[in-house]
Amino acid sequence: MSIGRQPNNYAFIDGINLHLTYEDLDWKMDYSKLVRYLRKRHNVTAAYYFLGFIEKNKRIYEALEEYGYELKFREVSEFPTEPIICPHCKRVVTPGGVKTKCDCDADITLQMIDDIEKYDKAILITSDGDFDNVIKKLIRINKLKLVLAPCKKGCSRLLKNAALGRIEFLDNFRGELEKI
């Protein structure tokens, strides 16, 4: 990076991990505030948001694109779930149904490597330990700025160890990022 030039950093967001974390917490992430935070504080010029495509969520996807995210979709797998039946009274406690699953980890890693010459530093938003090896590689070649985990409590120890101190937790910025 030459003197006087703004850094050109890319964010790679594990959207499923981020969404599921905040679904379990007592506050909601404001995704428009998040992308502004990434641009202002971390000089992010491209924010890739990886997630599964579900037709009924089209309006959510449109909003994310309006905020400035570049969406990267993965096909969603559906699988049936068995009902949960009380062993004592034999009544259905939770009906069976269909669960969805989407794993974007390989897509995120591949995008980080494919774009490596386009960005100065990468920021990865996830708490998933499956990214430990790509984090180690980015550190070795001086391409990692930061791992931003959604919250400290659910963050993988593998990811924390791999980041070598280059990790922050988005829940520490709740005041800046919470949806009001």
Please give the pLDDT value at position 162: 98
The phi, psi pair for 45, rounded to 5°, reads -105, -20
153-163: pLDDT as tens digits:
889 999 999 99
Please give the pLDDT value at position 71: 98
Please give the pLDDT value at position 2: 55
HEC readout, 27-76 = CCECHHHHHHHHHHHHCEEEEEEEEECCHHHHHHHHHHHHHCCEEEEECC
When pLDDT is averaged across residues 147-157 and rounded to a whole number, the result is: 93
34-69: pLDDT as tens digits:
999 999 999 999 999 999 999 999 999 999 999 999
How would you classify the pairing of strands 84-85 and 92-94? antiparallel
Question: What average pLDDT does the chain have?
Answer: 92
Query: Is the model's pLDDT at 78 over the cut of 90?
Result: no
Cα first-last separation, the chain: 38
More confident residue, 151 or 81: 151
Claim: this prediction has a pTM higher than 0.85: yes
- Comparing 53-62, 95-104, 131-140, 141-150, the range with the smallest average pLDDT is 95-104
CATH architecture of 9-174: 3-Layer(aba) Sandwich (3.40)
Please give the pLDDT value at position 90: 82
Query: Is the model's pLDDT at 20 over the cut of 90?
Result: no
